Amino acid sequence: MCGINGFNFNNPELILRMNRVIQHRGPDQTDFWCGENISLGHDRLSIIDLSERGSQPMWDEKKEFAIVFNGEIYNFLELRKDLENKYNFCSQSDTEVILYAYREWGNECVKKFNGIFAFAIWDCLKNELFIARDRMGVKPLYYYHDGKRFVFSSEIKALLEHNIPREVNREAFNLYFQLLYIPEPNTMFQGIKKLPAASYLELGHEGELKITKYWQVNDFTNYGSYDETKQTIKKLFRDSIKRQLISDRPVGVFLSGGIDSSAILGAVNEFHGGKVKTFSVGFKDSQDSEKFNADFFLAKKTAAYYNTDHHELLIEPEDIKNNIEKIVWHLDEPNFNPTSGAIFLLSKLAKEKVAVVLGGDGGDELFGGYPLYYYSYIISLFQKMPRVLRYLVKCGIEVAGKDGLAEKLSLPPDAERVAAFLAQKNNFLTRVLNKDIYKPDLALQHINEKYFNGTRPMDDFEKQFMNFDRQSWLVDESLVRTDKMTMAFGLEERVPILDYRLVELASRIPTKWKLNILQSPKNFQGKAIWRKAVRDYLPEHILNEQKRGWFTPMAKWIRKELKDTVADVLSPRNLNSEYFNAIGVKKVWEDHLSGERYNLNIIWAMVMWQLWYNRFMK
Which amino acid is present at 27? P
Reference 6, options 209, 192, 128, 158; nearest CA is: 158
On whether the CB atoms of residues 44 and 29 are closer than 8 A, the answer is yes
Reference 327, options 313, 348, 311, 312; nearest CA is: 348
Neighbouring residues of 235: CB distance < 8 A, sequence distance ≥ 6: none
Q: In whole angstroms, what is the distance from residue 267 CA to residue 269 CA?
A: 5
Q: What is the per-residue pLDDT across 312-350, written as a single tens digit (0 to 9) for each?
A: 999 999 999 999 999 999 999 999 999 999 999 999 999
CA distances for 185 relative to 173, 191, 192, 211, 276, angstroms: 13, 10, 9, 11, 38
| pLDDT at site 546 | 72
**pLDDT greater than 90 at residue 151:** yes
Q: What is the per-residue pLDDT across 373-395, written as a single tens digit (0 to 9) for each?
A: 999 999 999 999 998 888 888 88
Q: 10 Å Cβ neighbour count for 399?
A: 9
On whether the CB atoms of residues 194 and 172 are closer than 8 A, the answer is no
Q: What is the per-residue pLDDT across 93-145, written as a single tens digit (0 to 9) for each?
A: 999 999 999 999 999 999 999 999 999 999 999 999 999 999 999 999 999 99
| pLDDT at site 458 | 82
Share above pLDDT 70 across residues of the chain, in percent, rounded to a whole number: 97
Catalytic residues: 2
**pLDDT greater than 90 at residue 42:** yes
Per DSSP bridges, beta strands 58-59 and 65-73 are: antiparallel
The single-letter DSSP state of residue 168 is B
CA distances for 303 relative to 251, 277, 311, 338, 481, angstroms: 15, 9, 9, 25, 25
Query: What number is the average pLDDT over the span 60-67?
Result: 96
Whether this model's pTM surpasses 0.75: yes
**pLDDT greater than 80 at residue 517:** no
Q: In whole angstroms, what is the distance from residue 452 CA to residue 618 CA?
A: 38
